[in-house]
Copies of this chain bind each other. A is one copy, B any other.
Amino acid sequence: MTKLQNDRFLRALNREPVDVTPVWMMRQAGRYLPEYRATREKAGSFMDLCRNAELACEVTIQPLDRYPLDAAILFSDILTIPDAMGLGLSFNTGHGPKFDRPVRTAADVQNLPLPDPEGELQYVMNAVRTIRKELDGRVPLIGFSGSPWTLATYMVEGGGTKEFGKVKGMMFSEPALMHQLLDKLAQSVTTYLNGQIAAGAQAVMIFDTWGGVLTPRDYQAFSLKYMQQIVDGLTRENEGRKVPVILYTKGGGQWLDKMAATGADCLGVDWTIDLADARRITGDKIALQGNMDPCILYSTPQRIREEVGNVLASYGKGEGHVFNLGHGIHPGIDPENVAAFIDAVHALSGQYHA
């Protein structure tokens, strides 16, 4: 395999020394970039873009051609697994994802197939292989999946939700059925991420977008337990190098100690907790990724630089910090402000490393 020209990101995940803090952005391949919007238009639907390895590769690399980012992330969607399970996924502009066949009954759960990474999901593996080839060692490639709980929310609700009435209704009324569904999803996610690793993903991230809507007890029983199952089942080494795992629960700032105990290498952190507190809570034993409020990017280069400084100072001296936003970049952001952001991280972070 080609040698990595920039391995800052992987080194930070392993809490190894780096010259400056590595940085990437959730949704860095996305609508804020005019070149993304052009490719998206060419592709057809959003899922058509995900399914086309060449175009998925093109949009994955677009932000790297603009900014000195320290990692690439596979362009895909968290709902590829439920889609491959045959639930009939569509995206209606302005209304988010929708499933034609939501999962509601015991029969629905039992009938769910476990998708084959090199079968129904081969288009994702092909995208990983194409991107790795095209990257040719510039930066590492991150693979990802939604968490079982997060996938279950969409599958049971039949789409996005603000209230979580159906999925929590099932969780509270039929916990055994919910556990069956989550176990199936944990198996699928494990196979899926191992497939991505075999195809060339050099780190993987599990997005638990909706774990934060649970009580502490339910979070542990219905979300974290299944992320643990995945962490335990992942291939942790490939191409002679460790493949780090990042867990991210939006709104999970209160449970970072529990998340750290899974044996993941890094925790993604949103902006509602100071990194200094997150580092203290996790005993400075695990890497942290985050956590600038994405809305800062609506302001000015000067204000962005100031906030980058605040976040770096909050983490403080020492290794184990990957700079990121606390959530995905918004579509309305000016690409010039992103340039100011990425540059500020590299320019201001040298002093925090030995």
Residues of A within 8 A of B (CB): 163-165, 168-169, 172-173, 212-218, 251, 253-254, 271-274, 277, 293, 295-296, 298-300, 303, 307, 310, 330, 332
Contacts and interface: CB of A to CB of B under 8 A. Distances in A.
Nearest to A326: B215
A105 to B, nearest CB: 16
Nearest to A303: B172
A272 B165 contact: no
Contacts of A307: 172
Copies in the complex: 2
Contacts of A295: 163-165, 168-169, 172
A283 to B, nearest CB: 18
B330 A165 contact: yes
A272 B332 contact: no
Contact of A272 (B216, B274, B293, B303): B216
Contacts of A277: 216
22 contacts: A163-B295, A165-B330, A168-B295, A168-B296, A168-B298, A169-B298, A172-B295, A172-B298, A172-B303, A173-B300, A173-B303, A212-B272, A213-B272, A214-B272, A215-B272, A215-B274, A216-B272, A216-B273, A218-B293, A251-B251, A253-B254, A254-B254
Nearest to A327: B163
A277 B254 CA distance: 11
A172 B251 contact: no
A310 B307 CA distance: 41
A274 B216 contact: yes
Nearest to A216: B274
A8 B323 CA distance: 50
A330 B173 contact: no
Nearest to A96: B162
A31 to B, nearest CB: 12
A215 B314 CA distance: 12
Nearest to A255: B272
Contacts of A296: 168, 172
A274 B255 CA distance: 11
A310 B298 CA distance: 43
A272 B272 CA distance: 13
A169 B272 contact: no
B214 A173 contact: no
Contact of A298 (B173, B212, B218, B332): B173
A163 B333 CA distance: 12
Closest 5 CB pairs of A and B: A168-B295, A169-B298, A172-B299, A173-B299, A215-B271
B254 A272 contact: yes
A332 B271 contact: no
Nearest to A166: B298
A272 B298 contact: no
A254 B271 CA distance: 12
B172 A330 contact: no
Contact of A273 (B165, B254, B271, B300): B254
A45 to B, nearest CB: 22
B165 A332 contact: yes
A217 to B, nearest CB: 8
